[in-house]
Amino acid sequence: MICPVCHEDMMVVEYRRIELDHCVKCRGAWFDSGELELLAQSMGLDSPDHIIKDILASPEDRPPHPERKCPVCHKPMREKAVGDPPVHIDACRQGDGLWFDGGEAHQLLKQLSQTSPAGEGAGQIAAFVGEVFHAEDEDSTGGGQ
C-alpha cells in the first residue's frame, strides 16, 4: 500500500491479528475499515463500533488536503477532529479507512484507554501503538498536519 502523505510504500504491522499499514518515513498509520473497531474491542470498550460512526458523521474539521487520497479508492479524504483534545485524522469518504499522521493513533487510543473500563490492558495497547508508530509526546506533535 502507498502512503497518502509521502507516497512511499508502507509496511504492515500485525497486532492481535489486526494488520495495520505504517509508513516509516512520515510515521503515519492507515487503518482499513473495521480495524480501529477491532483494536478498540481488544481494549475492552463496550461498543467500539460507535467510534467510526461518530468519526464519519462529524463535520469536516478543516479544508481537506487535496493531495491526500485514500490508498484504497484513491479519492480525496476529508479531515475530521475526534476526541478531546481533538485529534485531526483523515477519513476516506467511501468508508475504506482512516489515516492517522504520526502520533495521532497513539493520542486517540490513549484518550480511549482513559475512558475504558479495561484500565491497564487498554493502556498497554495504547502504549504498544505509541511504540510501534513512534509517537511523540503530545506537546511536540502539534495535533497533526
Residue 46, domain member (yes or no): yes
Does 30 fall in a domain? yes
Q: What are the residue ranges in the chain where pLDDT is below 50?
A: 135-145
For the chain, give percent helix, strand, coil, nearest 5.
30, 25, 45
Which domain, by its residues, includes 30?
11-141
pLDDT score at 81: 81
> Does residue 15 form part of some domain?
yes
Per DSSP, the residues of 102-122 read TTHHHHHHHHHHHH-TTTHHH
User: Which positions ≥6 away from 56 have C-beta within 8 Å?
Assistant: 80, 91, 95
* Position 64 in a domain: yes
pLDDT value, residue 3: 96
| Pairing state between β 29-32 and 18-22 | antiparallel
Residue 3 inside a domain? The answer is no
Give me the number of domains the chain comprises. 1
- 6: in domain: no
pLDDT at res. 140: 37
Q: What does residue 77 show for φ and ψ, rounded to 5 degrees?
A: -95, 165
Q: Which pTM value belongs to this model?
A: 0.74
Whole-number pLDDT of residue 45: 62
The per-residue pLDDT for 71 is 95
Q: Per-residue pLDDT tens for 69-106?
A: 999 999 999 888 877 788 888 989 888 999 999 888 87
CB-CB contact of 70 with 97 (8 Å): yes
- Choose among 14, 48, 24: nearest CA to 128: 14
Question: Does the residue 116 lie in any domain?
Answer: yes
Closest CA to 93 of 119, 113, 66: 66
- The verdict on residue 1 lying in a domain is no
Contact yes or no for 15/128 (Cβ under 8 A): yes
Of 82, 85, 86, 97, the closest CA to residue 21 belongs to 97
